[in-house]
Structure 1
Amino acid sequence: MIEITQAGLLTTVQDLGRAGYAHLGVPRSGALDAPALELANQLAGNATDAAGLETTMRGCSFRTHVSTVVAVTGAPAEVRVDGSAAPYCAPLVLAPGSTVEIKPPRTGVRSYIAFAGGVAVPSVLGSRATDTLSGLGPAPLRVGDRLPLGGHWHDPTILDTVRGRRTRWDEITLTISLGPRDDWFTDEAIGTLLGNAYALSTKSNRVGARLTGPSLTRAVAGELPSEGIVLGAVQVPADGQPLVFLADHPTTGGYPVIGVVDAVDLPLLAQARPGAAVRFRQTGGHGPQR
């Protein structure tokens, strides 16, 4: 097992989430930057859906109680093993009693830590992911928490992982398909959404990324009955400021959804810091794929 010695701002257990339970009111959850977790697992010799740790802004540290292999990916951060510098985005072979510190990232928000065998906390509805909205899965980690590791893994993978990987998220562009409620907004509002940069708000979290910028004007003033919300849905509350729903999003909502962000672009939001410029680029036809 491993023991948490510093928990940082928000460190959670995450895998690829519990898909398929929205009809029961259960969000998908899972790693916000899923490709980063998949890469960490590959480096540690795991299946890509093994559970690891997701840190937020301030990193974390832990002590090993067994020999294991660890890999850190996602937001680039300084990694130290027993006080000495260690490589980021590479397999690290650790002896029992090693102390590993992941410093606050230099850019980005979330770093991912995979362990050989994966974090083996109990599974809930087929996933070990922490869901900050519903409370499913393990609670956010605290100092002194001990996490068991699984016993099945393969030889670590050596990859050229740095070349071509994005390391800055100051300005991002998200691909969006309009609908299902874009007709609740004026043509001017659609043009505003697609033609302006919004700033990522400090009020963003794993549930959703709140944006601030030009207000989106409604063409329909009435109330909308609650309806299903999908990952990446761009909901527009009464203040006219768009909100992009992320992994821990609610499964229903009563404000109109003007469009849905392509899931492959959502890791950009996972790594963008407050104040980052966010633009939207339209693609496809009307209506999201559910």
Structure 2
Amino acid sequence: MTDRALVVVRAGALTTVQDRGRPGHAHLGVPRSGALDARAADLTNRLVGNPPEAAVLETTLSGCSVRPRSTVTVAVAGAPCPVTVDGRPAAWGAPVRVPGGALLDIGAARSGVRGYVAFSGGVTVEPVLGSRSTDLLSGLGPPPLANGTVLPLGRPAGPPARVDVVPHPAPPSELVLRVTLGPRDDWFTDAALRTLTRYPYAVSSASNRIGLRTEGPALERSRAGELPSEGMVLGAVQVPPDGRPVVFLADHPTTGGYPVIAVVHPADLPGAAQAAPGTPLRFVAVRHRR
């Protein structure tokens, strides 16, 4: 067995393998998947000398611990957290050399939700439809990590970045999502449209990789009944029967029958990946389709 591998010692609350996902398969019913905070995942890959498409680990709230079988360069970014190697503090947001057999521990997030851990050479589990990403909705890709899981690593593609630390956006204390209203905003009353863009919401604890759920005022429809199922896109703001908006994230279904009142600007979605439950949330309309 190759020594280019790591063993999961502590899997954490939810740790998955993620890369840039598998876009382009929605016509087959396959979600996009991929890292929720793509900026953080790309940053960790740059820090260890990987190409941007290399697979990384995405942790959730409680971090994880792994033991590489050979010396590897590692970088951790996303949600700020303590990092140790064999119990000794190591840098967050910078390349770190971890000797073979040492225990790398990524601690609980101090703020934010999701951390990203890149290894020189990338995680090289078998790709499915061109991606190594775990998709929690469809079940494609490797299962979420468990204690004792062994993950293969590729050969380093290049040297690590020559930096001490790099700037990185902090998790939001208030999440502001710019939205374009439509395509089904005409299924809602004018009062509902005003409510969406003028009243505060909060991130719900029921949020996950499929969608960011919200707590706040319900949105009133102007039409009864349901839509035939239609295509959904990343960032779609769907309104289920309880009237509380749901922002579709990377593992979202490819179709849905509830009306989409708006779509979030793609640049704002990494912030949604890091918004902890209870974070204040505002939707800001930037363009109207009508």
CA-atom RMSD in angstroms: 1.1
1:207 Cα deviation from its structure 2 partner: 0.3
Letter in 1 for 2:101: G
Give yes or no for contact 1:171–1:276 (8 Å, CA) kept in 2. Answer: yes
Would the aligned equivalents of 1:14 and 1:30 in 2 still touch at CA under 8 Å?
yes
Alignment match, 1:277: 280
Paired residues, what number?
286
Matching residue of 2:86: 82
Query: Unaligned regions of 5+ residues in structure 1, if any?
Result: none
Q: How does 1:154-193 map to 2 (within 5 A)?
A: 154-159=158-163, 161-163=165-167, 165-193=168-196
Matched, 1:195 2:198: yes
Q: Of the candidates 230, 238, 245, which is equivalent to residue 248 of structure 2?
A: 245
The answer to whether 1:16 aligns with 2:17 is: no
How far residue 168 of structure 1 moved from its aligned partner, in angstroms, is 3.5
Q: Is 1:210 the equivalent of 2:210?
A: no
Partner amino acid, structure 1, of 2:44: A
Q: CA deviation at 1:47?
A: 0.5
1:97 is aligned to: 101
CA contact (8 A) 1:31 1:37 kept: yes
TM-score of the pair, normalised by structure 2? 0.96
Match of 2:147 among 130, 143, 146: 143
1:239 counterpart letter in structure 2: D
In structure 2, what is the Cα distance between the partners aligned to 1:159 and 1:51?
22
Q: Give how far 1:159 is off.
A: 4.0
SS in 2 for 1:70: strand
What is the deviation of 1:222?
2.1
Q: CA separation in 1, counterparts of 2:194 and 2:166?
A: 37
Would the aligned equivalents of 1:229 and 1:251 in 2 still touch at CA under 8 Å?
A: yes
> Given residue 103 of structure 1, which amino acid in structure 2 is its aligned partner?
G
User: Contact 2:94/2:166 (CA < 8 Å) preserved in 1?
Assistant: no
User: Aligned to 2:38, which of 11, 34, 41?
Assistant: 34
What are the Cα deviations for residues 24-50 of structure 1, in whole angstroms up to 9, with x where unaligned? Answer: 000000000000000000001000110
Q: 1:8 to 1:212 in 2, by over 3 A?
A: same
Residue by residue, what CA displacement relative to the aligned partner does 1:215-269 show, whole Å, maximum 9, x if unpaired?
1010111221100010000000111100000000000000000010011101111
More deviation, 22-31/153-162: 153-162
How far did residue 160 of structure 1 move?
6.6
Contact 1:90 1:158 (C-alpha < 8 Å) held by counterparts: no
What is the rounded CA distance, in whole Å, between the counterparts of 2:185 and 2:48 in structure 1? 44
8 Å contact kept, 2:177–2:264:
yes
For 1:284, the aligned partner's letter is: R
- Structure 2 unaligned segments of length 5 or more: list them: none
Query: Residue 76 of structure 2 contacts residue 116 of structure 2 at CA under 8 Å; is this kept in 1?
Result: yes
CA distance in 2: counterparts of 1:47 and 1:197, whole angstroms: 40
Segment of structure 1 superposing worse, 119-128 or 278-287: 278-287
CA contact (8 A) 1:235 1:244 kept: yes
Per-residue CA distance 1:68-107 (angstroms, 9 max, x = gap): 1100000000000011000001111121111100000110
4+ runs of 1 displaced by more than 6 Å?
A: none
2:116 equivalent in structure 1: 112
In 2, the alpha carbon distance for the partners of 1:47 and 1:68 equals 16
Between the aligned residues of both structures, percent identity stands at 57
